[in-house]
Amino acid sequence: MIGEGGRQSAANGPRVLMYSHDTMGLGHLRRCRTIAHWLVEQNKDLSVLILSGSPIIGSFDFRARVDFVRVPGVIKLRNGEYSTLNLGIDFEQTLSMRASIIKHTADIFDPDVFIVDKEPLGLRGEVTETLEMLKARGCRLVLGLRDVMDSPTLLAPEWQRKGVMPALRRLYDDIWVYGLPQICDPLDQIALPKLVRDKVTYTGYLHRSVSETAPATRPPVITNDPFLLVTPGGGGDGEEMVEWVLRAYETDPLLPYPALFVLGPFMQPERQAQFSERAKRLKRVEIITFDPNMESLESRAAGIVAMGGYNTFCEILSLDKRAIIVPRTEPRLEQYIRASRAEQVGLVRMLENDGKLDPQVMAAALRQMPRQRHPSEVVVPGLLQGLENVNRLIQPCLQRRRSTSQTDTVRQQA
């Protein structure tokens, strides 16, 4: 269905279509939404449409001239296979429906720019036909990559198996990496042909800000005091991190800050219930499931404990928060690579999960947190210039429709 994000639109203005496959988690959707909101803020004649498989995309607010189309959801199983999320139909049928919706939406919307997030051909190749169609029309095709994809030893064979390189050579015009190579380079040690390497631009990280109109969640325990925010992102794989921090508070009630845990909408309901029940016995711990305005909570926090996904990392940098990162290492090394590189630079502290979840280890790190450096104390040129650079890069792509619209206006006035 089409969401009700923005009702105002410049009918003849330029258009950007964004694709986010979104099996589970919030990372891809939140990155696309951040870029979309910035682009319409900077370009008053621009409309942006987001194609997403996220089951909770309707929980987010969208600015005027930003809207979304939700394709049927799928979920990635522990064995690596995919299954339909809600519909009682075969996965291949679901995939066919998704591909059809994507192509027909692109056909009618007729974008000037098509930005594909992370998956060059989409989930199981579902955007391939759309890429071919839009390429023939002269639409600018952009692949947007986060700063870390996975270990190069794993990413290279994955791309080979999916047939990514021919698409990068033949279809895509640009590859935007939302990061800096001196911190993380997702294409490091990947054998890219010069033709493909020349398409790559490192934009810097995507700056985040707090919405002035977004309502702020104010749990009772933290209305007045500085507090620690604990967030595993979407929560689908963050149970151990939450367990580790909660154990620290159960062991040491005098830790520097009261804690607010935001468990994430994808954490198993039974685990949410267990954590919430334990929190009720602690005077300085509050637990909520989800808040669509995480930036508001993060801006008020004295410090953050997180798993280190891309969006949370950008928010830690943008809001200048002391942070402890507890990265996952399966099924991808993405978070570990990002956190370890950021710790080397001095932007965050990293704690490796050794499986023991020793509360004393976590408590010691939390007691040390008030003495950590803020990210702003580390000078990294261009660190948070991603949104400005994306807007700069996209301008030539938007001129075609603007020029056509101006020509039509002149003809009508003649």
- Whether residue 316 contacts residue 342, with contact meaning beta carbons closer than 8 Å, is answered with no
CA 35 to chain centre: 10
In this predicted structure, what is the pLDDT of residue 154?
84
In this predicted structure, what is the pLDDT of residue 6?
36
414 residues of the chain, pLDDT tens digit each: 444 433 334 568 999 999 998 766 677 888 999 999 999 999 999 999 999 988 888 888 899 999 999 999 887 766 556 778 777 788 899 999 999 999 999 999 999 999 999 999 999 999 999 999 999 999 999 999 999 988 888 888 989 999 999 999 999 999 999 999 999 999 988 889 999 999 999 999 999 988 766 555 555 555 567 999 999 988 788 899 999 999 999 999 899 999 999 998 889 999 999 999 999 999 999 999 988 888 889 999 999 999 989 999 999 999 999 999 999 888 788 999 999 999 999 999 999 999 999 999 999 999 999 999 999 999 999 999 999 999 999 999 998 777 765 555 545 555
What is the edge-to-edge ordering of all strands in the sheet holding 349-350?
285-288, 259-262, 228-231, 303-306, 322-325, 349-350
CB atoms within 10 A of CB 405: 16
Distance CA 204, CA 392 (A): 13
Rg of the chain taking only CA atoms, in angstroms = 22
In this predicted structure, what is the pLDDT of residue 2?
43
Strand intervals (E) in 44-164: 47-52, 66-70, 74-76, 82-84, 113-117, 140-146
| Strand 82-84 relative to strand 74-76, pairing | antiparallel
- Whether residue 71 contacts residue 97, with contact meaning beta carbons closer than 8 Å, is answered with yes
In this predicted structure, what is the pLDDT of residue 383?
97
In this predicted structure, what is the pLDDT of residue 348?
97
- Whether residue 179 contacts residue 188, with contact meaning beta carbons closer than 8 Å, is answered with no
In this predicted structure, what is the pLDDT of residue 377?
97
Strand intervals (E) in 25-137: 47-52, 66-70, 74-76, 82-84, 113-117
In this predicted structure, what is the pLDDT of residue 82?
72
Residue 285: strand, helix, or coil: strand
CB atoms within 10 A of CB 174: 17
Which of 357, 364, 414, 394 is CA-nearest to residue 39? 394
Amino acid at position 379, single letter: V
Amino acid at position 220, single letter: P
Distance CA 267, CA 278 (A): 16
Domains in the chain, start-ordered, CATH in brackets? 15-207+384-413 (3.40.50.2000), 220-377 (3.40.50.2000)
| Strand 285-288 relative to strand 74-76, pairing | unpaired
End-to-end, the C-alpha distance of the chain in Å comes to 41
In this predicted structure, what is the pLDDT of residue 3?
41
Strand intervals (E) in 168-222: 174-178, 200-202
In this predicted structure, what is the pLDDT of residue 217?
54
